[in-house]
Amino acid sequence: MKYAKKSPWILHYDGSSCNGCDIEVLACLNPLFDIERFGAINTGNPKHADILLITGAINEQNISVVKQLYEQMPNPKAVVAVGVCAATGGIFKDCYNMIGGVGEAIPVDVYVPGCASRPEAIIDGVVKALDKIK
């Protein structure tokens, strides 16, 4: 799948978060970072996506949604968990409705650290995830 590396289409999902990482993900699209340089597209549609990019944590409400989105993505696919909340639940970890990081719902391939993660780090995470969908 050498072409897969040249055209990573991304589905972005935001779980329980403060929306900080969310905004940084959008920053990747702007002229300064321009993730489309790598052929990446923010599809907003699991059926078209290669990479599921999740910001924020998993809670009782959204776990089924995340699982279904992952389920609907065709193979090969990769999951990138962006930010601390997506990794472990972050500062929301002890809330009454919280389950934890993305790993609690679906298998994660790349964890991007940061609170919020920087756009460079997110792009780096996406590029790393490309190795997983060979």
Partner 1 sequence: MRALILTLRILGILILAPAAGGLLTGLDRVVSARMQRRKGPPILQPFYDVMKLARKQSTTVSSMTRYFVTLSMCFNIFTVLLFGLGLDLMLCVFAFTLACVFFVLSGYSSNSPFSFVGTERELVQIMCYEPMVLIVAFGYYQVSGSFNVGDAFRMGSPAVMRLPFIFIGLLYVLSVKLRKSPFDLSMSHHGHQEIVKGVITELTGICLAMVEVSHWFETVFALGLVYLFFVYASPASWAAALALCLAAFLMETLIDNAFARVKWKLALQASWIVIFVTGGVNLLLLNL
Partner 2 sequence: MPTILPLLGVPLVFAVFTFFARTQKAFARTVRAAAVCVAAASLLCVAAHYGDVYSADLSAYPRIKTVMLAIEVAMSAYLIYIGAARRHFLLSLFSAAQIGAFVWFEAAYGHSIRVKEAVTVDRLSLIMIAIVGVIGGLICVYAVEYMKDFHRHHPEYKDRRPMFFTVLMVFLAAMFGLVVSNDLSFMLFFWEVTSLCSFLLIGYTRTPEAEKNAFLAVVINTFGGLCFTVGIVLLAVYENILDLNGLIRLNPDAPIVVAAVFLIACAGLTKAAQLPFSGWLLGAMAAPTPTSAMLHSSTMVKAGVYVIIRLAPLLGRNAAGVSMTLVGGVTFFATAVLAVGQSDAKKILAYSTISNLGLIVACAGINTAESLWAAVMLIVFHAIAKSLLFLAVGSTEYQLGSRNVEDMDGLFQISPALTTFLAVGIAGMFVAPFGMLISKWAAMKAFVDSGNVPVVLMLAFGSSVTLFFWTKWLGKLIANAHRTAPTNYVMRGDEKVSMYSLAALVVVVCLAHPLISSGFIAPYIEGAMLTPFASPIASRTTTVIILMLCMLFIIPIVLLPLYTRRRVKRTSVYMSGENTGDNRSFRGGMGRVRPVELRNWYMPSLLREKRLLAAGGGVCALIVLGGFFVAMGGAFL
Amino acid at the residue 25: V
Residue 76 in contact with partner 1, rule: CB under 8 A: yes
End-to-end CA separation in angstroms for the chain:
5
CB of 74 to partner 2, least distance (A): 8
CB 12, CB 41: distance < 8 Å: no
Q: Which residues bind partner 2 (CB under 8 A)?
A: 13, 45-47, 64-66, 68-69, 71-72, 74
Compute the distance between CA of residue 79 and CA of residue 84 in angstroms, rounded to an integer: 15
Binding mask 10-39 for partner 1 (x = CB under 8 A): -------------------xxx--x-xxxx
Residue 134 in contact with partner 1, rule: CB under 8 A: no
Residue-wise DSSP of 46-57: TTT-SEEEEESB
Positions touching partner 1 (CB under 8 A) are 1, 3-4, 6-7, 29-31, 34, 36-39, 41-45, 47-48, 50, 72, 74-76
